[in-house]
Structure 1
């Protein structure tokens, strides 16, 4: 499974924690923010915090986070730390 990683969008810092099955828990500026799931390469779904069911409402911030997740390439140094 992929290790957690950080992304930045504008002034906001996000920590991304992969949960498997294209589902991620997102922390924004140090606080748990949202759980998201990949629908397509360009479309991501926010999950309801109580039921974990997808909310089919367009959300540009969620899609921007998803695009950064797809574009993320782990540093080689991160892979080296896994073997220690």
Structure 2
């Protein structure tokens, strides 16, 4: 059963790594890697994503190619 308005979890791939993406709240996603919680990301703007600090959940500013790649794949999925 699909809940109205709720986003379903989905998987994305980067090379041979599979990430499981779980939408949490508006523009916030929990990312699992190898079956374990790996990181939490938030959309900063249309093209940039930020990693959230694991303890405080405050945005950690700085360029992270892996986070932006995951965010780009989330954007692609939302555009479908």
TM-score normalised to structure 1 length: 0.82
Is 1:41–1:67's contact at 8 Å kept on the other side of the alignment? Answer: no
- Superposed CA deviations along residues 22-48 of structure 1, whole A, max 9, x for unmatched, are 000000122210000001121000000
Which residue number corresponds to residue 16 of structure 2? 11
Match among 61, 67, 70 for residue 62 of structure 1: 67
Query: Please, which runs of 5 or more residues in structure 2 have no aligned partner?
Result: 1-5
Residues matched between the structures, number: 74
1:42, 1:11 → 2: CA distance?
24
How many angstroms does 1:53 deviate by?
A: 0.3
Report which of the two structures shows the higher radius of gyration computed on alpha carbons. Answer: 1
Which residue number corresponds to residue 22 of structure 1? 27
Which residue number corresponds to residue 38 of structure 2? 33
Query: Please, which runs of 5 or more residues in structure 1 have no aligned partner?
Result: 74-84
2:32, 2:50 → 1: CA distance?
16
